Structure 1
Amino acid sequence: MLNTCLNNEKNLSLEILIKQFIQQYSQQNSTNDFKELIELFEKTSFYSLISSYELILLHYNQQQQQQQQDKDDLTLILSDEENSLKKEEEEEDHHYSDKDDQSCIVSMSCSSKLVDEEKENSNYASKLSEYNVSRLKIVRLEKRQGEPLGATICRLSDNDYRISIARIIYGSIAQGLFTVGDQLLEINNIHIQSQYRTLDDIVQLIDSLHGTISFLLLPTSSDETKTTMTMTTNHGINNQAFHYNQDDCSSSVYVRALFSYDPYDDMYIPCRELGLSFEKDSILHIVNRDDSSWWQAFLMENDENIKKQQYPGLIPSKQFQEKRLKIVKCLLDEETTGHTKKKLKKKLNKSISQQSTRQKILTTFSFGTYESVEWYIPNPLRKRPIVLIGPAHIGRHELRQRLMNSSDLSSLIDVAVPHTTRLKKSDEIDGRDYHFITRQQFERDISNDLFVEHGEYEKNLYGTSKSAIEICSNQLNKICILNLLPEGLDSLKYSNLLPYIIYMKIPSTIEKLREYFYVNEQQWIEIEQVSRQIEQNYSHLFDKIIYLNQSFDEIFSQLKSLVKHVQIKPMWVNQCWFSPRERF
């Protein structure tokens, strides 16, 4: 009932409404609850509380009206006619093109309002005079509470209190509005260039602001932007920049990280809060490489073409990371020539990001930096070859033979028919048992890099050609299982065969390997050495590692599952396997 009165009599004070309520309903209701309510209404303290409330409400309404009046004074409603808006923009362009000393205004308005040019130009002129410059830039944008601006700031030098834009984060509200090198003069008419203001003070100020924010900047000499009008969504995000297309950005590339990274362990990163943590083998979408030392990247789902965060983070560039790793290598080389561990540790702390152990540094150096990848959806009309990599005497040939004899896989699996220079036997068929060619032709094919691997046995040449793998995978639509020497991987690059590389990693002890495959001590030493070399030189090409510290049946079961999985599951594939001229 009281709500009904309040809704019908909005212009009356709360006190009058309550008294009318008492007079109207006191005779109609005699319940105890109603009587208690009447007693409460008749207390003096209750009406004091009402008076206080009305004073607060009056003050609030006056404040809101003043803010609305200020907005109305500063803005004009955009015309509904699109042609009219275009005409105004053309007139603005013509107006500013004739005046070299005018500043650049870049304005964003989520409420679709156009800044009053007359007042703006007047304010403009006074600012030009105040700062004694011929050109300024005003940026207005809408920022939600707690939303990052997407730009970092820095001082021009240690002894200079002038502040400039240091970095623009890809896809943020700052992209397209600010330019690296712009000097920041005012924020919402607050002068921020002062020796008494720290960078943290300014960052806290920006973080605390939301709604419409105005920035006054001295544009960098490289910023030749003319007066433009840019629209945003209600949340102020630059959608055109945020919903990126990798084809629209020349610096956009997907990579697999070949090392782990934590920005909070990196003393050189310009802003730890913007750093992106990732583990080895993580997929990164690099969207900005403007900075030679620090790139901007999204962290992607390893098994899906989906990014994990809204804004990109900073990662060390390939050049910067390789430079650090070279320093590590030099220091480790010095260690072998007589430097003590104490001196080495001191130099490492000065030269690279803080790393926990010497082994971590060695591993990082061996594994490199980034490997370019592409998202691949399997083609049902062709199969991806499976390549087993590892040292000799660990059971790779036995595993391949067992796969080919498997009842549920034998019809799907085949091997590439090898080439040879030996004479054909009476029971052999050319193209089924071997491709029989002359030695001259074989050597010519070697020169043309047509073989994945080749060798000589009893004065006859044998080899596996790329064309033989292509016939198996494409024409016959069979899963080609290959046991290759590691060097053969280089020949598969850019072949468009898209091999899936499985590395067979030896167990830590000879006893574990002997459980299913016998090797002697000398063979074990050679196996360990070859394994280290393979991992150092080719680990960036591995798609999967199968650890040989389990039973042979478990190893086979894991391998069998992978062979099936690879042919149907979309995944990230190393770009080096794709042909630059041909795609499917």
Structure 2
Amino acid sequence: MPVLSSPASLQNFTDASVQKLLNCLQELHLKASGNEIDLLFLSNLLQGEDFQGLMKIHQQVTAPQFSEHKPTHSSASKMVANVVEDLHAIPPTAEARELMTLLCSFSFQGLLEAHDGIAAKAFSPVLPEIPHKVDEDEVSVKILKLLKAPKEPLGATIKKNEKTGCIHVARIMKGGAADRSGVISVGDELREVNDVCTRSMDPNEVVSLLTNPTGPLILKLIPADSDIAIRETHMRVKACFEFDPKKDSTIPCKEAGLAFKRNDILHIVSQEDGTWWQARLDSDSSKRAGLIPSIKRLERQEAAKTLVNTPECERKLSTKFSPKIGKRRRFKKDQEVSDDVIIPTFYEEVDKFTPEKSRNILLAGHALSGRDEILSRLQIKLNNSKYKIPTRYSTNLQPNCSMLPKEDIDRLQQEKLLIDFLDRKQYSICSKLEDARQIIKNGDALLCSVNQQGLKLLRTAEVKPFVIYIKPHSTDCLKSMHKSVLRSPGAKRLNDDGIEEVMVDSSLMENSYGHFFDRTVLNRDIQASTDEILNIINQANTTPCWVPSVWMQ
């Protein structure tokens, strides 16, 4: 009669569950009569090398893994940006340029973006199949179980139908949890949140239910009559103003608003709503969109402001720094552009531009803010480079200037052919537009100072300038610089009224043209500002940047 193998023969086999089965087979053989052949077959099967090998594989696959992989850095994009900034500070070499090209490439930036998204656990919600049921009143419903990060917003705004008392989805924010679910649509009625009926509830109460769940968010939705598809756009714009949704009383939802500053790059993702667009900051790795005012809304807002403008308002603006300023505008003529009116610009469409040669550099700012002294020092530092500075003209003998009659200078200014112009009692000094264009035509890089008129004349697709605004730090700093280091042609020390005049004109220029500036240098010290601008020029010549789209056409 066949005899079952003793469990002792399995001492080298480590799987406890299989050994337990063999013990059971032995007990069955001893205690009850059974089919000997079947028992022997099972015993041989469990002890066979093939089965034992299969069990070892099963153990390896199912064994819990205790090693947890965590990202070493939560924001690789910022770290690489710091590396690129450090590369600008070292002398340019072939290896440094190659590394910078690699780090700034779109494919590598995409890799960093993916890394940061995973590190931030910005995963798509894990959703079960959407059950479509019929409500008690025979209305089709959608039940959605939404998993999201504890502090992550839903990414949708709601509104209440005052006639029915129902809560509806007003808009879906691109990149948010609601958008990633692919189930929630604009116009859907929000019937329940975690089994709490929302009908006749105040919208703020519903928002509280949506933002403070203790677990998964379970939504019961009545589908809209027709789903409204949101077409995503891929337009980048530069903001020409500052926006804070917390200070805007007309925004549908302050929490859904996107705050930004002037010169921030925005990615417009939806323009479906004529009043409020959806956008995200181009530098934001979360990819969640927020509400920003549309151009149509901003134009209406600007028109309303124009109606209420009064001379009293203008007087308040012009006397911001000193009540004496309104009495005497000594330098007004050199800072104004005759009757040229600035049309408000809210967003400027931009594209990425990679420089292939030295950029043309414009130094914007008041002529007596230290700008001309900085230009003179840059001319010495860049003496052997490709940069050329247009000839300066003066009505009398001035250092580094050519003579030009007062009548000719006034005529050129009247015809708007000057890019810089300073008119004082003792002399007038200027730079010509044609000289700047000739430098570019000769294949050299332009470096020049400009006033408002010059900024508008040279900020074109032909020139593609990089604009650096030199901003006076304070009245005291400006006084100190004028006493010690400023040596403008025919310089005469300014009195207190003249100093404050420069501060006011600089402020007006920044308010009106700040969206044209690529960088701003706060001028506390002439030499420190000169060194800072040299570093900025090196960066501008090697780093891709955003420029107006019309320049790329």
Question: Is the pair's TM-score, using the shorter chain for normalization, greater than 0.5?
Answer: yes
**Conservation of the 8 A alpha-carbon contact between 1:386 and 1:501:** yes
* Shift in Å, 1:219: 1.5
User: Which whole-Å deviations, capped at 9, do the CAs of 1:49-79 have from their partners, x for residues lacking one?
Assistant: xxxxxxxxxxxxxxxxxxxxxxxxxxxxxxx
Alpha-carbon distance between aligned partners in 2 of 1:144 and 1:529, rounded to the nearest angstrom: 51
**Conservation of the 8 A alpha-carbon contact between 2:130 and 2:144:** no
TM-score (norm 1): 0.53
Alpha-carbon distance between aligned partners in 1 of 2:505 and 2:196, rounded to the nearest angstrom: 65
Among candidates 445, 449, 458, match of residue 492 of structure 1: 458
The 1:252–1:338 alpha-carbon spacing in structure 2 relative to 1, beyond 3 Å, is closer
Match of 2:290 in 1: 313
Alpha-carbon distance between aligned partners in 2 of 1:128 and 1:470, rounded to the nearest angstrom: 77
Letter in 2 for 1:153: I
Match of 1:97 in 2: none
User: Which whole-Å deviations, capped at 9, do the CAs of 1:415-440 have from their partners, x for residues lacking one?
Assistant: 35899xxxxxxxxxxxxx9xxxxx9x
Q: Is 1:164 the counterpart of 2:168 in the alignment?
A: yes
Letter in 2 for 1:497: V
Q: Is 1:256 the counterpart of 2:225 in the alignment?
A: no
Match of 2:475 in 1: 508
Q: Is 1:388 the counterpart of 2:363 in the alignment?
A: yes
The 1:255–1:558 alpha-carbon spacing in structure 2 relative to 1, beyond 3 Å, is same
Q: How does 1:165-180 map to 2 (within 5 A)?
A: 165-175=169-179, 177-180=183-186
**Conservation of the 8 A alpha-carbon contact between 2:360 and 2:466:** yes
SS in 1 for 2:178: coil
* Shift in Å, 1:386: 0.9
Alpha-carbon distance between aligned partners in 1 of 2:375 and 2:311, rounded to the nearest angstrom: 45
Structure 2 gaps of 5+ residues are 1-10, 25-123, 317-341, 394-401, 403-407, 487-491
The 1:212–1:536 alpha-carbon spacing in structure 2 relative to 1, beyond 3 Å, is closer
Q: How does 1:113-124 map to 2 (within 5 A)?
A: 123=133
Alpha-carbon distance between aligned partners in 1 of 2:239 and 2:386, rounded to the nearest angstrom: 30
The 1:114–1:562 alpha-carbon spacing in structure 2 relative to 1, beyond 3 Å, is closer
Q: How does 1:559-574 map to 2 (within 5 A)?
A: 559-573=533-547
**Conservation of the 8 A alpha-carbon contact between 1:180 and 1:220:** no
Q: Is 1:464 the counterpart of 2:433 in the alignment?
A: yes
* Shift in Å, 1:504: 2.2
* Shift in Å, 1:489: 2.0
**Conservation of the 8 A alpha-carbon contact between 1:367 and 1:539:** no
Structure 1 gaps of 5+ residues are 17-107, 226-240, 242-247, 302-306, 340-365, 420-432, 434-438
Q: Is 1:530 the counterpart of 2:505 in the alignment?
A: yes
Match of 2:519 in 1: 544
Letter in 1 for 2:281: L
Letter in 1 for 2:479: E
**Conservation of the 8 A alpha-carbon contact between 1:260 and 1:279:** yes
**Conservation of the 8 A alpha-carbon contact between 1:373 and 1:572:** no
Alpha-carbon distance between aligned partners in 2 of 1:300 and 1:174, rounded to the nearest angstrom: 21
**Conservation of the 8 A alpha-carbon contact between 1:165 and 1:184:** yes
Give the CA RMSD over aligned residues.
5.3
**Conservation of the 8 A alpha-carbon contact between 1:298 and 1:308:** no
Alpha-carbon distance between aligned partners in 2 of 1:153 and 1:173, rounded to the nearest angstrom: 15
Alpha-carbon distance between aligned partners in 1 of 2:228 and 2:368, rounded to the nearest angstrom: 67
* Shift in Å, 1:481: 0.7
Match of 1:27 in 2: none
**Conservation of the 8 A alpha-carbon contact between 1:259 and 1:368:** no
* Shift in Å, 1:502: 1.8
Alpha-carbon distance between aligned partners in 1 of 2:207 and 2:289, rounded to the nearest angstrom: 22
Letter in 2 for 1:312: A
Q: How does 1:108-187 map to 2 (within 5 A)?
A: 123=133, 127=135, 130-131=138-139, 136=140, 138=142, 143-144=147-148, 146=150, 148-157=153-162, 160-175=164-179, 177-185=183-191
Match of 1:412 in 2: 386
SS in 2 for 1:538: helix
Q: How does 1:194-343 map to 2 (within 5 A)?
A: 194-195=199-200, 200-201=205-206, 204=209, 208=213, 215-220=220-225, 223=227, 249-250=232-233, 252-256=235-239, 258-259=241-242, 261=244, 263-301=245-283, 307-320=284-297, 333=310
* Shift in Å, 1:499: 1.0
Q: How does 1:476-487 map to 2 (within 5 A)?
A: 476=443, 478-487=444-453
Alpha-carbon distance between aligned partners in 2 of 1:150 and 1:453, rounded to the nearest angstrom: 49
Count of residue correspondences? 389
**Conservation of the 8 A alpha-carbon contact between 1:169 and 1:312:** yes
Q: Percent identity?
A: 21
Letter in 2 for 1:200: E
User: Which whole-Å deviations, capped at 9, do the CAs of 1:117-154 have from their partners, x for residues lacking one?
Assistant: xxx6xx5xx559624xxxx5647576456465432222
Alpha-carbon distance between aligned partners in 2 of 1:535 and 1:111, rounded to the nearest angstrom: 51
**Conservation of the 8 A alpha-carbon contact between 1:375 and 1:570:** no
Q: Which runs of 4+ in 1 moved over 6 A?
A: 108-115, 209-212, 325-332, 366-369, 454-458
SS in 1 for 2:239: strand
**Conservation of the 8 A alpha-carbon contact between 1:137 and 1:219:** no
* Shift in Å, 1:520: 2.6
* Shift in Å, 1:492: 3.0
User: Which whole-Å deviations, capped at 9, do the CAs of 1:328-373 have from their partners, x for residues lacking one?
Assistant: 787785976999xxxxxxxxxxxxxxxxxxxxxxxxxx99784425
Alpha-carbon distance between aligned partners in 2 of 1:338 and 1:250, rounded to the nearest angstrom: 43
* Shift in Å, 1:298: 1.8
